[in-house]
Structure formats: structure tokens, C-alpha cells
Structure 1
Amino acid sequence: MKIDLNVQPLSSWINTGKQPLLIAGPCSAETEDQLVATAHLLAKTGKVTALRAGIWKPRTRPGEFEGIGSIGLKWLQRAKEETGLPVAIEVATGKHVEEALAAGVDILWVGARSTVNPFTVQEIADALKGVDIPVMVKNPVNPDLSLWIGALERINNAGITKLAAIHRGFSSYEKSAFRNEPMWDMAINLKTHAPHLPIINDPSHISGNRDLIQYVAQKALDLDMQGLMIESHIDPSVAWTDAKQQVTPSHLADIIDALTLRKPETANTEVSSKLDELRKQIDKIDDLLIQKLAERMQIVEKIGQYKKDNGITILQVGRWDEILQKRTGYAKALKLNPEFTEKMLEMIHSESIRKQTEIMSKEQAEGQAQEKMTHA
């Protein structure tokens, strides 16, 4: 289902001449010298589109560094004047918005902790009414597409058309190499719902580790995301926040130089024609897959009816274990990803259980109706 967002293309509100579009700067503005020096080094690379810095820092626990506060806005003004870079900051309250606008901040973003709270987002949206400024919205901490879309809609309803989303990964109980699981499918789903909405990737918060930034950034660009937000500090080893995920400006330049920028398929007629041919083959296979799934479900319904007639329980754990073991083994032999295979089988099994439960429930409902008629 498409969502109706009135948004302008990224090129209409930020200079996208540099490729890829890159918003970079320290996680936190710590001192005036640190911020301005970092800004100069970033500008010197010739690769940075805008300077970012955390002024107000919503932290997980009290007592941690929560940002230098409003004084940092003056430091940003100086950095902007001396380097010519537009500046971007996170806002979490209506007051933050007012102070940022008064200080001439060029781009605002709503952080992941704010996106989870519709009251907070609405307060920010109300403060933005009547203002023409680019606003970016990070995904919520947990994987909830509706919350992300809702936050974007609230900002858009306030009259903000220079709007973008930031994909910064999601919290997960599963431990992996990433600080925040990318869950790329969530960003793809957002793009499917809002095809014209620019999406920018935040490799720093996904990685939590500077060694993974290039990998994540490349993956984002390969998925047609329109830019990157990467944290850069003049000396990450002494950074007050998120030291492990920040890179020096020179390291950042190396990362960007190493990225491969791919062209849209429409730029090459021959390539586009070949892709169309391959996609037609996929379409045929997809049609067969759906047809076979439908045939499978018809047999599932027969099994459900037989179980109902013979008083057999729906769930047969032994049979499910057998299916899982045999199918995943077969899939592995065919070089299919085992995790993908297991998820697919679980979805099919879940639908099979639902269909059989529906048959059982129908019998119960019919029995109750018959009993009422008998006693009437």
C-alpha cells in the first residue's frame, strides 16, 4: 500500500553534486576547537555535503554526556561561516526546533528515540509549522514500520516537503557484528510504500564499529539509498560519545573513495533489456510457486478435514520436525540459504496451522448452533 507523502526530490533541497551525498561530523559537539577543526578537515576532503554534530544527546542512562547544549549552536555557526558547509543537528523537542531555527541551522533530523513517541514527534511537527526547512526522520529503535511512517506523516502534515528518512538500524536481542541490526527489508518496505521519499543510510549507528562502516555504506548504495550519514571526529580515540564508530576525516575520505557507485539500469538500454528478459523468467517461476502453494493449501484443507473427522490434533510436532529437517537439508544441497529456507517453511507451516484451525473452529461453531436449535 502506497502512502501519500508530498515530498521534494533530494536535489531540490541539498547540493547533491558530490557523490555519494554525505552528511558527516562528530557524534557530539564537545568543544568549539574540536568541532571547528573537524569541520575544516571534512571540508578539505571535498567529499562532504553537510556537517552534522550532536548538540543535545538523548542518552540511555542519566549521568552520561547528554550534549553540550545550546552553546554548541554558536560553534556550528562559526564552522558554517568558515567552511561554507550547511549544518545539520538532531532535535527532540519543540524548543530545540526554535533554537536551531534561530541559529540558522540548515537541516534537522528526528532521532530514533524520538521517532518511537508520537507525542514527541507531534510536538516537533507543531514547532515546524510554517517553516521551510529540510527534516530527516530516523527509524524507531525497534523494528516498527508503522511508527516510522507515522513520524514521517506527522512531519509532512506540518507542511515540511523537504523530507527524508534515515535508516540507522534496529535494536535486537540477537547478538551480531552490528550495533543495530540493519534489517534491510524494513528500509526496502518503506521505499515500497513511499517510492519518492529519499532514504539516507547511517552506517555509523548500524555498525557501532568503524571497521564495518564501508561494508554497510556499500550495501546501502547498492540498495539505491540516496546518501550516507557518517560520524567523523578529529581524534576518535578521545571522543566523548560513540568513540568506536567514529572515523577521522582522512579515513572517511578513504572510505568514500573505496565505494562503488552503480548506475540506474535505465542508463543503459542493453542492460535494461537483458534485465527485462531475466525478470520475465522470474515472473514465470513466481507464478508457478504461487500455483504450487495454492495446491499445497488445498491438500492442507483436506488434511484438516480428515483430522477433524477423526478427532486428531492439529499440531503434529514429529511431522513438523521431519519437514524442517528434510526440506532444509534439500535446500542446502541446492545452495539455498538455510536461514531463508527455515523462515519460508515456518511461514508456510503457520498458514497451514491457521487453515486447519479454521476448519476445526467451523465445526465447533456449527455444533454450538445445532445445540441452540435443539434447545430452542
Structure 2
Amino acid sequence: METLKMKDWGLGLGEQVVIAGPCSVETEQQIDSLCESFKGKSEINMFRGGVWKPRTRPGNFEGLGEEALPLLQKAKESLGIPICIEVANTAHVEAALKHDIDVLWIGARTTVNPFSVQEIADSLKGVDIPVMVKNPINPDMALWMGAIERLHAVGIRKLAAIHRGFADPYDKIYRNKPNWNLAMQLKLELPNIEIINDPSHIGGKASMIKDISQRALNFGMDGLMIETHPNPKEAWSDAKQQITPNELLSMLKEISFREKIDMETEIPANLKELRESVDHIDQKLIDLLSDRFHLIDQIGAYKKVHKLSVYQGARWQSVLADRIALGVKKDMSEKFMKSLLVAIHDESVKRQEKQIASKDATAKIL
């Protein structure tokens, strides 16, 4: 959609956005305690609080509902900063607007359902309010972009994305695997959109928040949304991934918000020279890959003539082990080498299959 290239995006909070507050609004005492800790702290730009909590299974705490909204109004008056909450349907939107909530976000479980997103979008038609969209649970770029497009189509212009990671049952490190490349792909598709990182949901553990936050900022993300609780061990939901206000403020002093530079006018001379060298090497890499794949085409043609299978397991395992070892000797990680080789091998298989399916494969054998 061409209209999504517009520059009227963003929350208007500056380049170092920090959104903090509890996973769930629980009690007046909890909110008062957080406000006391955050009062006068310019590092905190927005206060978040879970009102309706869509739990995976019933029986867990599902939020105070509309009862929590007056407590958030009180926090807004105390701190003098915007308040944001998650909404999942029209009733939530109406309650949020009635209680003067400043910013809404659509959660991962809602983003996966275009019907629900459209319902929310329709209920916001004609309303000038910022909306943030979390990535869907599964790594589906179309759903993420589709949710943003639906909101844009009804006139919502103050839009941002929240990167909270993606479900991966095989990943043992993260609660939700970051898949940084997908967040960066969204930025390529929508260059002017702000992306807020949610390290609490990505890590699932308080101990991981700092490192994930720094990496998000290294990737050029525009801010952080961090779950904060006065006593995380006693939290009514997601206790393991929340930190105290003091821990948050201390962490913000230790991490580094990266300066962004204009690609056309602000690149320092030394950096420009290094980038030009990288561009030159990239060109050579592409030329070498092109040469390699032309050889693969010939191998595919040979296999067709001699009725050989495309996949040769012993050969592939030998190449994989040898190239990984060579890469490690050249200061590249084993994980990177394996990912690179698997991508090249997948493309090689596809090209050989194409050769076998063609009618003139024999002509391509040297």
C-alpha cells in the first residue's frame, strides 16, 4: 500500500521511548507505589498497565477489567505522562476512550485475527488516538502488516509496532524468540514506523531484560516497553519477567540508546569509507555466489542425465562439517556458518530440481 509510506507515524515521544508499568493492574497500592518511584523521572515516557488479560487457559487472573481504569487515570494525574493499555474488542475501546486513556495497543493474540483487528479499527474510525500493534504470536509478517494497514485505512495515523517475539516450541532460551530479522523486515516495508521492543515478553525472565533491551537498541529500535512491578515475586501475572522500578532506572543508566544518522548528510567520513569497502566486498560475494550457482546448475543437469538423486546426504554432511570448521577458523561462529550453508544448500537443491525438470538440461553440462 503506497499510503503506508507516509511520514505521519509515531507516538510523538521522542527518540528514546521508555514505556513502563505492571503486567496487570492489581491494586491501588500497587499503582501508588509505582507512581512514587517514577515521579519526576524523565526517563519514563509512558505508563502501561494490563486491564484485560487474555490468558492462554482459563482459571488464571484475567485482569480487573474496567475497574482498573480509574487507577490508571490516577497514575496519569500523578505522573503527567500518557497512559497506555491493551484492547481486544469494541467494548474495551469504548471503555478506554471513556476513561481518557491516551494510547492503545493491540496484543499478539488479537493481531492474529483479522476479524478482531477490523472490529477494533472500525470502532476507532474518526478517533485521533495513537495505536501500537504487537507482532502476532507466530512469525507471520503479513498478519503484522495487515493489522497496521487496517488501522491506517480508517484514519489512524499515529501508529507504532511492538516487537515482542514469536512463539517457538523448540527454543529453550527465550520465552518468545526474537527473530530480529522480521522486525527489521517490517522497518524495510514501513520505513517511517516506530518499533518498540518488549524485552519482558521476549526473555520471559527478569535477568534477560537488560541484554535484550541493548540488542534491540543496537538494531535501531525506537524504544522499550518493560514490565515493572513494586514487588515482582508477588505479581498476579507474569511474575518472572517483571523488574522493580529501581532495577529499571538503574538499567536505563547502563544501556546505550544509539544515535541515528541520516543516510544522505550525516555519515562521518571514516564510517563512509568503511561502508564503501563493505559494499565492494558484498559485490564480490554476490559474484562468487553467482559463479557457484552456475556450477550447481551444471551438477543438476549431470544428475538428470545420469539419473542421480538431487540430495546426496554423505556429500552434504561432508561439506557442512568442512565449511563450518573453515568458517570457525576465520572468526565466524558455528551458528552463523550453519545458517549460511543451509540457506545456500536449500537454494542449490531448488536449482537442481529446476534443472531436472527442464527439457534441455543436457545442454548445460560442460
TM-score range, shorter chain: over 0.9
Distance 1:23 1:46 in 2: 11
Q: 1:270 to 1:146 in 2, by over 3 A?
A: closer
Alignment equivalent of 2:228, drawn from 218, 226, 232: 232
Matched, 1:4 2:1: no
Q: 1:147 to 1:169 in 2, by over 3 A?
A: same
Cα root mean square deviation, aligned:
2.2
TM-superposed CA distance for 1:3, in Å, is 7.7
Q: 1:2 to 1:318 in 2, by over 3 A?
A: farther
Amino acid at match of 2:353: T
Per-residue Cα deviation, 1:76-118 (whole angstroms, up to 9, x for no partner)? 1122123322210000001111110111000000001111111
What SS class does the counterpart of residue 25 from structure 2 fall into?
coil
Distance 2:261 2:43 in 1: 25
Distance 2:22 2:332 in 1: 41
Distance 1:183 1:176 in 2: 14
Partner of 2:242: 246
Q: Give yes or no for contact 1:5–1:153 (8 Å, CA) kept in 2.
A: no
The 5 Å alignment of 1:113-124 reads 113-124=109-120
TM-superposed CA distance for 1:271, in Å, is 6.1
What SS class does the counterpart of residue 54 from structure 2 fall into?
coil
What SS class does the counterpart of residue 55 from structure 1 fall into?
coil
Partner of 1:204: 200
TM-superposed CA distance for 1:151, in Å, is 0.8
Q: 1:342 to 1:15 in 2, by over 3 A?
A: closer
TM-superposed CA distance for 1:265, in Å, is 3.8
What SS class does the counterpart of residue 311 from structure 2 fall into?
coil
5+ residue gaps, structure 1: 366-376
Distance 2:148 2:5 in 1: 8
Q: 1:128 to 1:74 in 2, by over 3 A?
A: same
Q: Percent identity?
A: 45
Q: 1:212 to 1:126 in 2, by over 3 A?
A: same
Partner of 1:41: 37
Distance 2:85 2:60 in 1: 19
Alignment equivalent of 2:185, drawn from 162, 183, 189: 189
TM-superposed CA distance for 1:269, in Å, is 8.0
Partner of 1:372: none
Q: Which runs of 4+ in 1 moved over 3 A?
A: 265-271
Distance 1:46 1:300 in 2: 58
Partner of 2:364: none
Q: Give yes or no for contact 1:7–1:163 (8 Å, CA) kept in 2.
A: no
Number of residue pairs matched by the alignment: 362
Partner of 1:30: 26
Partner of 1:370: none
Distance 1:311 1:158 in 2: 58
The 5 Å alignment of 1:11-90 reads 13-16=11-14, 20-90=16-86
Q: Which moved more, 1:321-330 or 1:79-88?
A: 79-88
Q: 1:157 to 1:86 in 2, by over 3 A?
A: same
Per-residue Cα deviation, 1:336-366 (whole angstroms, up to 9, x for no partner)? 121111121112111221122112222499x
Partner of 1:374: none
What SS class does the counterpart of residue 70 from structure 1 fall into?
helix
Partner of 2:171: 175
Partner of 2:91: 95
Partner of 1:132: 128
- Between structure 1 and structure 2, the one with the greater Rg is 1
What SS class does the counterpart of residue 4 from structure 1 fall into?
helix
What SS class does the counterpart of residue 268 from structure 2 fall into?
helix
5+ residue gaps, structure 2: 362-366
The 5 Å alignment of 1:300-339 reads 300-339=296-335
Q: Give yes or no for contact 1:90–1:108 (8 Å, CA) kept in 2.
A: yes
Amino acid at match of 1:80: K
Q: Give yes or no for contact 1:6–1:161 (8 Å, CA) kept in 2.
A: no
Amino acid at match of 1:57: K
Distance 1:293 1:14 in 2: 44
Q: Give yes or no for contact 1:25–1:39 (8 Å, CA) kept in 2.
A: no
TM-superposed CA distance for 1:155, in Å, is 1.1
Q: Which moved more, 1:157-166 or 1:38-47?
A: 38-47
Partner of 2:274: 278
Per-residue Cα deviation, 1:169-224 (whole angstroms, up to 9, x for no partner)? 11112233321111111111111111100111111111211111111111111221
Partner of 1:106: 102
Per-residue Cα deviation, 1:114-160 (whole angstroms, up to 9, x for no partner)? 11111111111111100000000001111111111111111111111
TM-superposed CA distance for 1:72, in Å, is 0.7
What SS class does the counterpart of residue 63 from structure 2 fall into?
coil
TM-superposed CA distance for 1:240, in Å, is 0.2
TM-superposed CA distance for 1:287, in Å, is 1.1
What SS class does the counterpart of residue 221 from structure 2 fall into?
coil
TM-superposed CA distance for 1:9, in Å, is 4.5
Distance 1:237 1:345 in 2: 44
TM-superposed CA distance for 1:306, in Å, is 1.5
Distance 1:36 1:269 in 2: 46
Q: Which moved more, 1:207-216 or 1:271-280?
A: 271-280
Per-residue Cα deviation, 1:292-324 (whole angstroms, up to 9, x for no partner)? 111111111211112211222222111111111
Distance 2:115 2:205 in 1: 32
TM-score normalised by L of structure 1? 0.91
Q: Give yes or no for contact 1:2–1:194 (8 Å, CA) kept in 2.
A: no
Distance 2:82 2:32 in 1: 13
Q: Give yes or no for contact 2:87–2:105 (8 Å, CA) kept in 1.
A: yes
